[in-house]
């Protein structure tokens, strides 16, 4: 937990989920509940004002933490001190030359446009045009969904390159629709304990949230299974790797939240909706508020776990890597995988100068993959630079080598492996690889 990137990621994820969650809550839960409760103006204005304040704070935190995350990522990619990252154009290189940077440009644009539509959308007056609601909903969904391009889902090949990112996008949207709406729900329940009309609002909001939550939990479960399959791959990796054990903690928190949600739906919601006693109904409302706060806290724990997981290699990749002792301390290493095959690329030394590249091709069973021809392509971080392609030669152990690789500058390079396999199939793999400054 000494990595500042973890804190930037955690704040950014939490703020993004909260911003999108408030939009979802206002459109699908709060406004219909106010209309059903004959739109108690005092209550509606008070709740809208609180939600607006939280939404603006959340959007501000998302932008600031996103900027911090970008700077820290650029520092990690370049291997340069923070002062040089900020003064020597490294940030522009990351923004323009990496998928992470391109995603951040798109998300910053979305944040700016979202801030513009927040002005009418978050007004304390209930009358909003349909296009304002629709535009805000679309922008909030895109803002949270594009977080997928900052995670492990990106970089796969073949069907994985389509299915995994799609599942991650839906997973993030569903998380915002459930976890991101818990704080607004707890707030609304806390503010609806003074009259029968307010209790009607609480009942309607709780019923709509319950239906909304079931759909979100189903989507989270389905997409979570897909993500776990790609990121972990086996029960052994789930149990024996640090990534897998952290993921088990996340799953345990998720199941705990589902358990509380089940109690809310099956016991407390019926008491709030059907009980003729005002005292009993108010008691159920307070319990629901308390449970929503507990669920939100557990959701915060999940966000922290996700922030840590994003800094670790996925468990499914861990057992693909060469043994620790086999990778020289000064080498740059990257594992690239697809459904057609995998490649372990080692560049030694992994710093500016002349180096030797070694490529190991593997199949899905981690056995050597026979090839008739292998080519290595390297592209330096400079915008507009031309890639350099070299033909690799095979040694007696089945590894492929390229000597005299010139590494002109440090930073986040792109390495691509193109192989003609013994079966005449072509294997195309590409990934970033970090080259350190010459010391």
Q: Where are the domains of the chain?
A: 4-317, 322-435
Give long-range contacts, CB 8 A cutoff, 24+ apart: 169-173: 169/145, 170/145, 170/219, 170/223, 171/219, 171/220, 171/223, 171/224, 171/227, 172/17, 172/144, 172/145, 172/147, 172/148, 173/20, 173/141, 173/144, 173/145, 173/219
What is the Cα–Cα distance from 325 to 318, expressed in whole angstroms?
Answer: 14
Please provide the DSSP assignment of 183-199 as one string: HHHHHHHHT--SSHHHH
Write down the mean pLDDT value for the chain: 86
What pLDDT is attached to residue 12?
Answer: 96
Residue 155, pLDDT above cutoff 70 = no
323 pLDDT more than 50: no
Q: 322-435 in CATH: which number?
A: 2.60.40.1930
Q: Which pLDDT belongs to residue 153?
A: 61
* pTM of the shown model: 0.75
CB 192 within 8 A of CB 44: no
When pLDDT is averaged across residues 142-146 and rounded to a whole number, the result is 96
Task: Tell me what the mean pLDDT of segment 413-437 comes to.
Answer: 86
- pLDDT tens string 68-84: 998 888 777 666 677 77
pLDDT digits (tens, 9 = 90+) for 396-405: 888 999 999 9
- Residue 202 CA to residue 37 CA, distance in Å, equals 9
pLDDT digits (tens, 9 = 90+) for 85-114: 776 667 777 777 677 888 899 999 999 999
pLDDT, average across residues 120-134: 84
Q: Residue range 312-340: average pLDDT?
A: 66
H helix or E strand, kind and range, residue 34: helix 31-36
Element (H, E) at 280: helix 278-309
233 vs 346 pLDDT, higher one: 346
pLDDT at 2: 72
Taking CB atoms within 8 Å and a gap of at least 24, the contacts of 54-60 are 54/18, 54/22, 54/183, 54/184, 54/187, 55/18, 55/19, 55/22, 55/23, 55/118, 55/122, 56/118, 56/122, 58/15, 58/16, 58/18, 58/19, 58/22, 59/15, 59/19, 59/111, 59/114, 59/115, 59/118
Say yes or no to pLDDT of 378 above 90: yes
Report the pLDDT value the prediction gives residue 319, as an integer from 0 to 100.
Answer: 47
Question: What integer pLDDT is reported at residue 322 of this predicted model?
Answer: 45
Q: What are phi and psi of 316, to 5 degrees?
A: -70, -20
Question: What single string gives the DSSP state of each residue in 323-378?
Answer: PGGGS-TT-EEEEEE-SS-EEEEEEES-BSEEEEEEEEEE-TTS-B--EEEEEEEE
- pLDDT computed for residue 13 by the predictor: 96
């Amino acid at each position: 937990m000494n990595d500042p990137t973890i804190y930037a990621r955690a704040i950014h994820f939490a703020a993004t989920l909260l911003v999108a969650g408030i939009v979802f809550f206002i459109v699908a839960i709060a406004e219909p509940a106010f209309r059903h409760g004959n739109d108690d103006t005092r209550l509606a204005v008070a709740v809208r004002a609180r939600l607006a304040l939280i939404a603006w704070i959340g959007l501000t935190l998302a932008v600031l933490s996103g900027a911090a995350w970008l700077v820290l990522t650029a520092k990690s990619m370049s291997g340069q001190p923070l002062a040089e990252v900020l003064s020597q154009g490294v940030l522009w290189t990351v923004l323009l030359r990496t998928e992470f940077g391109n995603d951040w440009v798109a998300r910053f644009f979305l944040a700016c446009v979202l801030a513009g539509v927040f002005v009418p959308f978050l007004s304390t007056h209930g009358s909003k045009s349909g296009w304002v609601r629709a535009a805000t909903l679309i922008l909030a969904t895109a803002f949270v969904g594009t977080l997928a391009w900052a995670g492990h889902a990106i970089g796969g090949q073949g069907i994985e390159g389509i299915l995994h990112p799609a599942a991650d996008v839906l997973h993030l949207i569903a998380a915002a629709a459930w976890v991101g709406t818990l704080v607004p729900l707890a707030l609304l329940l806390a503010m609806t304990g003074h009259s029968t009309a307010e209790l009607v609002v609480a009942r309607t909001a709780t019923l709509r949230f319950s239906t909304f939550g079931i759909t979100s939990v189903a989507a989270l479960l389905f997409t979570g299974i897909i993500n776990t399959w790609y990121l972990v791959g086996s029960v052994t990796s789930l149990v024996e790797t640090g990534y897998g054990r952290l993921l088990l903690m996340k799953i345990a928190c998720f199941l705990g939240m589902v358990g509380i949600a089940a109690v809310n739906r099956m016991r407390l919601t019926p008491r709030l909706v059907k009980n003729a006693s005002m005292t009993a109904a108010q008691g159920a409302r307070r319990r629901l508020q308390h449970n929503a706060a507990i669920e939100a806290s557990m959701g915060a724990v999940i966000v922290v776990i996700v922030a840590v997981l994003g800094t670790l290699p996925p468990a499914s990749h861990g057992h693909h890597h060469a043994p620790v002792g086999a990778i020289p301390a000064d080498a740059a290493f990257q594992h690239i995988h697809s459904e057609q095959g995998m490649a372990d690329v080692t560049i030694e030394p992994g710093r500016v100068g002349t180096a030797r590249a070694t490529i190991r091709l593997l199949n899905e069973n981690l056995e050597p993959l026979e090839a008739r021809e292998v080519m290595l392509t390297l592209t330096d971080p400079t915008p507009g630079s031309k890639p350099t392609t070299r033909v690799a030669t095979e040694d007696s152990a089945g590894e492929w080598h390229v000597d005299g690789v010139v590494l002109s500058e440090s930073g986040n390079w792109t390495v691509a492996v193109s192989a003609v396999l013994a079966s005449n199939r072509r294997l195309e793999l590409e990934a970033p690889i970090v080259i350190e400054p010459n010391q």
